[in-house]
Chains A and B, each alone.
Chain A
């Protein structure tokens, strides 16, 4: 919870009263974890496994692999939660499994969704169609496709050249191209959607009329304009932030803080949803309770 709890020696104020000895809850926590774990496993072992409540009613939905999958997911979920008690070998295993599976997945995904259809499929379409992607459409311009595919092939080889002991500078050229293309792609869309369109959305009547005087619309317009101007003032560093500029910037800071608070609140909501969904899985799919 705090630095002084985990490391009493790190107290920055040597004159403050000594912290009280922390109660020894270890035995209590271990008993709680073991008891809960035993009850969960017992309940899960007695329950019919399957996809939610449907499995209990429909024996056809039960299968050995469904059961194995649900148990694996449940053990991994509990393994990750076990970190809340303290770091432990089960958590380490879960963490390693996640990293390993993710790395392998992205490698395989990149190979089969980018390299095979978009590079090898253009360079040697017959071979790829025969052994990898039978549904790959037949191109009407195979020669042009081959020539165009040679460009990313060469750039790709140049990019991985940085792994070679000599000639690392060769990889700078494809990186330059990636940066240039990305900047070109983003520039137009950013000016169009994030600058011009946003300016248009900000320039609106301060007194909102919606069939008559719209009080809340007017308040929203005022808050929007004041927020934009004060936050821009805060980020305007060519003038020292004192006097009227300083006060305006101070208002801008309040707008920023409210924005960050709102973003944090939304993040918390997302995390709670994830936890709720995990509990739903454990209760419904694994334990069949509730």
Chain B
């Protein structure tokens, strides 16, 4: 598609079409891509999802810990990655809350705290009103220090977080008053968009204490290839981008239905445009290559 030459002789039919295709203004492709996403978004197209082993393993990891056990949820992303990660964060919180896990929220990214707050407001408070702050869940908030935060928490949580996000001392909050280090948790879930994130949780939490707790992660598509080597030995489960979020939503909703399904349905809604856009892209790649080969044979270039 890159160096197709126009057939000046103007041969008829398919050859002429391929020549024009090679010279196509790129803005037509942008427009087609925009429509391929806008139309399914408007029509709310949904397609069935079949859970992959990694999404199933994440679901099973949460299911395998005792009901009511403490879970650490690290929101290591910001609004720029919320399109991919917020759906899985919502589903994860609903899943944990449905099993009455004690939830401790924290963030290694400055705006991760706001994303966690948003999830608490959208999922925890409306659909699990029995959760009381300080008793059933705690918002620790953000601390600067990247992997240094994890390293200190691995040995001394109160040293890293003397107070929660609202300024209440940890010793005054029943849920975390007795927690010394990360081994107090049964499961650590990092929803991450990069550094610091799930990779650092594996390196600095799971590395020194491989049997103390389970680690699961949710990540953006860009970061997945960095995390795949850790699955399944160092990371029990992994949610791969919006596809993983959609699969996980389906698993969670099947076992723990929610009054308003759309609250944990964003991932599946965003998979509709994915399918159409991917089909368009595959079609364009095939057409582009045909045009390039045809152009070479006509023009004798290279």
Contact = CB atoms under 8 A, between A and B. Distances in A.
Interface of A: 1-5, 13, 16-20, 22-23, 25, 29, 81, 84-85, 109-110, 113-114, 118, 134-135, 137, 185, 189-190, 192-194, 197-198, 200-201, 259, 262-263, 266-270, 272-277, 279-280, 283, 289-290
A84 B84 contact: no
Nearest to A29: B27
A281 to B, nearest CB: 10
A5 B23 contact: yes
Interface of B: 1-8, 19, 23-27, 29-30, 33-34, 37-38, 41-44, 82-84, 110, 142-144, 147-148, 151, 162-163, 166-167, 169, 202-204, 206-208, 210, 220-222, 224-225, 229-230, 233-234, 240-243, 269-270, 273-274, 277-278, 281, 299-301
Given A201-B229, A283-B41, A266 B25 contact: no
B242 A269 contact: yes
Which has the most chain A C-beta neighbours within 10 Å: B110, B151, B240?
Answer: B110
Is the contact region of chain B dominated by helix, strand, or loop, or is it mixed?
A: helix
B205 to A, nearest CB: 10
Contact of B233 (A16, A22, A194, A197): A197
Contacts of B169: 137
Nearest to B110: A109
Contacts of A201: 229, 233-234
A262 B142 CA distance: 33
Interface of A is mostly: helix
B203 A192 contact: yes
B163 A276 contact: no
A260 B7 CA distance: 35
Given A1-B2, A18-B8, A266 B301 contact: no
A290 B42 contact: yes
B299 A266 contact: no
A13 B295 CA distance: 14
25 contacts: A1-B25, A2-B1, A4-B3, A16-B301, A17-B6, A19-B6, A25-B27, A135-B167, A185-B147, A185-B148, A197-B207, A201-B234, A262-B225, A267-B222, A269-B243, A269-B274, A269-B278, A272-B273, A272-B274, A273-B83, A273-B241, A276-B37, A279-B273, A283-B38, A289-B42
A135 B162 CA distance: 10
B144 A114 contact: yes
A25 B277 CA distance: 24
Nearest to A200: B233
